[in-house]
């Protein structure tokens, strides 16, 4: 797909920032996302050609247009930052997800065989390290470092070690309590179930901690879980119970951004899956490398830096919305 004149399918999915409450609003927004947008897109792709093949409503406030296009053309991640596109999004209160797939792909959608997810603030609602801090009353100090690290203001490994040092003395059985209070994100189970039904390998790779990642693997039925391992120290005079030492295990790899990307690439290679057939979702700056390496990488309710730099971004209320990007659920003509 490199020569001029080659064909591809450009799939453009529109998500209303607030779902329409009336049929009239719903209909007018759908029309804006069809022919009106097509005129705008044609001007942006020139001299490449684009033909609107279909425009459909997937759910209230969610629409999708499929175009036949000639390539080369701007990468989808470049298109989404064009001033005319961002102005269209602002005018119609939309977020637009772009995907480019080879012509002739079944059902017009990217074939996905491997899906990799971040854990904290993605598949679960919390940042586990902040919950550990809460258990010993130092939430503010740790959360401040977490926020800066996830927004890319601090180098991830350094910030992780700094936060862990503050957590020395947390009881080693704290995970049992966290499993009772940590909440799985809305739509996570529906999304994973959809993928599993289609025999997609599902993975969580987290800069958080192995006990919670393994628990989440069980809860959602994921195929793999990767996360950081912590050292547990025995009882002593200062802490008369088994406790976290405040250190990472030297016997296990540290889950830094490069490691996350390496997990994606190695699993794809191990299972003979092209990277073009991978799907990645995450929210933090430590997810950017794997988001960029995936066939389709979506930053979900992400930090500001990640919103700007990820290939695609979406700020919805349920992860099940991502199913629409993969060809899921029945749609009807708009």
| Catalytic residue IDs | 118, 120
Handedness of CA 206, 207, 213, 216 (dihedral sign): negative
Q: Which helix (H) or strand (E) holds 35?
A: none
Beta strand 312-314 pairing with 224-228: unpaired
CA distance 205 to 189: 17
Handedness of CA 320, 322, 326, 329 (dihedral sign): positive
SS3 143: helix
CA distance 59 to 34: 15
Per the DSSP assignment, residues forming a β-bridge with 71 are 6
Q: Is the peptide bond before 72 cis (omega within 30 degrees of 0)?
A: yes
Q: Which helix (H) or strand (E) holds 314?
A: strand 312-314
Which tokens go with 230? 């912590």
CA distance 203 to 278: 11
Residue 171 per-residue DSSP state: B
């Amino acid at each position: 797909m490199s020569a001029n004149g080659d064909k591809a399918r450009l799939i453009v999915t529109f998500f209303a920032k607030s779902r329409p409450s009336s049929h009239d609003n719903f209909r007018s927004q759908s029309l804006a996302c069809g022919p009106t947008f097509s005129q705008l897109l044609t001007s942006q792709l020139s001299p490449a050609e684009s033909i609107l093949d279909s425009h459909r409503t997937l759910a209230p406030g969610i629409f999708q247009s499929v175009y036949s296009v000639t390539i080369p053309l701007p990468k989808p991640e470049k298109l989404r930052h064009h001033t005319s596109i961002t102005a269209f999004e602002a005018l119609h209160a939309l977020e637009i997800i772009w995907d480019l797939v080879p012509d002739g792909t079944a059902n017009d959608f990217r074939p996905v065989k491997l899906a990799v997810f971040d854990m904290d603030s993605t598949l679960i609602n919390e940042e586990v390290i902040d919950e550990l801090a809460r258990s010993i009353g130092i939430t503010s100090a740790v959360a401040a470092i977490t926020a800066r690290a996830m927004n890319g203001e601090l180098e991830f490994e350094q910030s992780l070690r700094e936060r862990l040092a503050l957590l020395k003395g947390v009881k080693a059985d704290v995970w049992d309590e966290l499993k009772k209070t940590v909440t799985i994100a809305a739509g996570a189970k529906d999304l994973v179930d959809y993928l599993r039904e289609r025999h997609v390998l599902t993975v969580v790779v987290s800069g958080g901690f192995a006990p919670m990642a393994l628990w989440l693997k069980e809860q959602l039925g994921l195929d793999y879980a990767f996360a950081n391992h912590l050292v547990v120290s025995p009882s002593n005079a200062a802490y008369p119970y088994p406790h976290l030492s405040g250190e990472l295990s030297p016997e296990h790899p540290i889950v830094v951004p490069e490691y996350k990307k390496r997990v994606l690439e190695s699993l794809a290679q191990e299972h003979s899956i092209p990277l073009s057939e991978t799907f990645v979702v995450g929210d933090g700056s430590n997810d950017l490398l794997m988001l960029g390496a995936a066939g389709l990488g979506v930053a979900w309710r992400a930090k500001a830096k990640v919103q700007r730099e990820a290939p695609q971004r979406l700020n919805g209320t349920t992860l099940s919305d991502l199913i629409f990007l993969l060809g899921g659920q029945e749609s009807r003509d708009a």
